[in-house]
A and B are shown apart, each in its own frame.
Chain A
Amino acid sequence: MKIIKDKLFTKTASAKGLLFSLIMIICTITNVFSQNADNFPIPDTYKVEGIPTIKNSEVEHLFYEPSAIKSNLIWDADGKNRRMLITDATNNIYLQTSPLSPPVKLIDKIIPYSLKTNPNGESFAYSSDHEDQDNFQLYLYDFKEKTPKKLVNLTGKDESIDSFIWSKNGDAIYFMRMDYEAKMSKLCRYDFQTEKCYPIEFKGSWDVVQDDGKRLLLKYFKASSSQFIYVYDLQTGKLMPVEEKGTSRKAFLAQDRVFWTSEGNEKCQKELCIYSLDLKNNKTSEVKLPANILNLYDVKISPDGNNLLLQETKDGVDHLRVFRLKKDKIGKEIPPFISGSYVIWNTRWMSDREVVYTLENNGKPASIQSYNLETKQINDWTKESLPAQLQGKVKSPQIFKWKSFDQKEISGYIVRPNKQEKKSPVLIFLHGGPQILDRPVFSSQDLRLVANLGLTIVHTNIRGSSGFGKEFMDADNKEKRGDAVRDVQALLDWVEKQPDLDANKIFLRGESYGGFIALSTALQEPNRIKAVIAEYPLVSIRGMLGQSWVNESAKSEYGDPADEQLMKKLDELSPLNNTSRWNKIPLFLTRGKLDERNPEKDVTDLKTQLQNNGSEVWFIYSTTSGHGVSGRYVFAAMYQFLNKQIN
């Protein structure tokens, strides 16, 4: 009996032990699960290093319902049907059939590079590189079939369709096949049955601009500040130069004439001029602009060729002006129709009498309007909306200027918190490119950083940016790269003099090329920079120029890799291999695996060198991204990084 009792006792004891162990395991698993569930998830496609676990509770206030924000911009207008293809905040493609009607989603999960409606209104074409990064292909969306399809196959090792247009009557598409290996462009035509390439080869990078039924307007993109206009006769196959001096950004065919903008030639040094070439008698004349036109940014002619839409940009604010045009003479001006300070995008002539445009500013998401020249009526096609937590958080952008080391005037704009009780930490933003222009557009990232961290964000257009003329755009080329860094150093001096800014808390944020400038500035300024955010940055110009795609345009900007003396000078600016000079400034760094613009090894080497140097490095590596790594986790991590460095 005792033996039985002992056995029973032993069995009961074992059962108790087993149950206790089970409970402990369940408790542990559940607690671990619960804690993990409170962690902000890292996407499976990311590998991160040096980033502390982010709690949902720490960042959830940064995010909001998608429906809380409404921001639309124009992809293109369909004048035939008086409707538009528009974006939403994530650049899907929607059809907007009438003012304030609900947009109809046509295509999502693809961000086209360029989209153009067929003049006959039956379809639209777009280019996208979603299949292969940086290799753009052509797609067609037919409104009857309602399914996008790829039009032509790329066959070369590194081919891309960077430019396309519709034929005048919409029966075909003209496009340029750019071969980045051979550095040649091929002009082709696709009539939806066969592809025909013309027996003329174009050296370098070319754009096809317009078809008037008899001839094509082409542009040779030698470099950002060296763009030349040509006319290609479709019948004779002859290529005629229109202008091969200075630079011509814009051109169009109307009234059997070529109109083009010109800058940097004998006549037009700094101000943009417009010329006209009569194709019947080959006579060139200058289109005299009204004396009060300043900083001409864009020119578009109405479909009938009788009205000219001019866009001026001054201190970050755009103005639209419409003039009558007769041959090469500008006539009477239509009274101004936009009041308020806006950045204006993607203007289009909907008809001979109606223009459409997108309006936004740093506190207002983008919305679309149209203006009828005859009825003088403005119509809202879309209305913006903003989540309550982002409303009224920032002051109107302040355009500001500072003098660089060589007295060159550099400008930017400042986004300040609406309420400020003490000196504000400063985030200096450096854009990529460098040949683009940062304008005070709506940015929910800015709003969230300003509202939640009390930051003042300083957007910059340092030398090399577009929008300030050819000389300014070329002022950072090749051996002058360090001058762009000195622009930022001069900005640090400016910040130190501002009573409301905390010069002890200056952060640099740059993407792509801007990342290089941010890193390079931190290298030169070991004591004035508190932390750096470098998103998919260029880290070595020598390394970038070693990539097989590098063309004449890139060499014009950065230099010839065979010029060893120049390369050594540029190496001095590069953070890579100079980390002994890096003053342990904390760094937030991102990189996409599919990024072929910069060698991956350069970025990972820089990361390792800085880690070995004892620097704090927050690193995000995305296995599915290319040149551009973004998303909720990146923003949450960046917010946490800044929060840590500020406090």
Chain B
Amino acid sequence: MKKIKSLLCIALLSTFLVGTVFAGNTTGGNGIFDFFGRMAEAVYSMVAGTETCRPRECQNCRPDQKDDDGNCRPTEN
């Protein structure tokens, strides 16, 4: 029974250790949760000016995710 217990402990410990290594941030960060807490930000490209293009033809600034890249500029008017 002791053997079974120690086998179980070793197996579980190894599994968790391996799991932690896989979950870890390989580049020295604070781990998986910190990584997903980060946000990509890109101010990108150009704006659909109201003077040359209608919003339904040119507008493509969409907050489709809460951490969206924000690829737009305020409309110029």
Interface residues of A (CB under 8 A from B): 15-16, 19, 23, 26-27, 30-31, 33-35, 37-38, 41, 43, 56-57, 60-66, 69, 71, 73-75, 87-91, 109-111, 113-116, 129-130, 133-134, 136, 160, 162-163, 180, 205, 207, 221, 224, 227, 249-250, 298, 345-346, 360, 365-366, 429, 431-433, 435-439, 441-446, 448, 466, 473, 511-512, 536, 549, 551, 553-554, 557, 592, 597, 622, 624-632, 635
Contact = CB atoms under 8 A, between A and B. Distances in A.
B22 A35 contact: yes
A90 B19 contact: no
B45 A163 contact: no
B40 to A, nearest CB: 5
A435 B53 contact: yes
Contacts of A41: 36
Nearest to A73: B74
Which 4 A/B pairs are nearest by Cβ-Cβ distance?
A628-B62, A34-B22, A90-B70, A34-B19
B62 to A, nearest CB: 4
8 contacts: A34-B23, A37-B19, A63-B40, A65-B39, A74-B74, A88-B70, A473-B52, A626-B64
A23 B43 contact: no
B27 A91 contact: no
A95 to B, nearest CB: 15
A443 B40 contact: no
Given A16-B4, A162-B54, A553-B54, A30 B60 contact: no
A90 B45 contact: no
B61 A444 contact: no
Contacts of B44: 443-446
A129 B72 CA distance: 15
Contact of A438 (B11, B46, B64): B46
Interface string B10-54: 011001101111110111010010011011111111111111111
B64 A630 contact: yes
| Interface hub of A129, A629, A630 (most chain B Cβ within 10 A) | A630
Nearest to A127: B55
Nearest to A345: B73
A89 B70 contact: yes
A291 B65 CA distance: 49
Contact of A635 (B40, B47, B62, B72): B40
Nearest to A88: B70
Contacts of B65: 43, 630-632
B2 interface: no
A162 B50 CA distance: 9
Contact of B56 (A30, A435, A549): A549
Nearest to B48: A436
B43 A436 contact: no
Given A433-B57, A436-B48, A473-B52, A366 B43 contact: yes
Contacts of A431: 45-46
Contacts of B62: 111, 133, 592, 625-630
Contacts of A631: 40, 64-65, 67-69
Nearest to B62: A628
B74 to A, nearest CB: 5
A165 B28 CA distance: 52
A441 B75 contact: no
Contacts of A435: 52-53, 57-58
Given A30-B19, A90-B67, A436-B46, 11 more contacts: A64-B41, A73-B74, A224-B52, A365-B43, A438-B45, A442-B43, A445-B69, A512-B58, A512-B60, A557-B57, A630-B65
Given A345-B73, A437-B46, A622-B64, A26 B12 contact: yes
Contacts of B71: 445, 628, 630
A73 B64 contact: no
Contacts of B43: 71, 89, 360, 365-366, 441-444
A568 B14 CA distance: 66
Nearest to B10: A23
A387 B23 CA distance: 25
Given A345-B76, A631-B69, A90 B41 contact: yes
A433 B70 CA distance: 18
Contacts of B47: 345, 436
Contact of B38 (A43, A65, A346, A554): A65
Given A89-B70, A365-B43, A629 B53 contact: no
Given A91-B72, A134-B56, A345-B76, A60 B45 contact: no
B53 A466 contact: yes
Contacts of A432: 48, 58, 60
A221 B55 CA distance: 12
A116 B38 CA distance: 32
Contacts of A298: 76
Contact of A629 (B42, B50, B64, B75): B64
A554 B77 CA distance: 21
B63 A346 contact: no
Nearest to B23: A37
A110 B60 contact: no
A84 to B, nearest CB: 11
A64 B38 contact: yes
B64 A345 contact: no
Contacts of A37: 19, 22-23, 32
A160 B56 contact: yes
A435 B42 CA distance: 23
A443 B42 contact: yes
Among B8, B25, B51, B72, chain A packs the most CB atoms within 10 A around the CB of B51
Nearest to A443: B44
A472 B10 CA distance: 73
A63 B39 CA distance: 6
Given A109-B66, A433-B53, A553-B54, A75 B74 contact: yes
Contact of B74 (A136, A249, A345): A345
Given A30-B16, A433-B48, A553-B54, A91 B23 contact: no
B12, B40, B58, B76 pick with most chain A CB within 10 angstroms: B40
Nearest to B75: A114
Interface centre among B60, B66, B75 (most CB of A within 10 A): B60
Contacts of B53: 224, 433, 435-436, 466
A75 B16 CA distance: 51
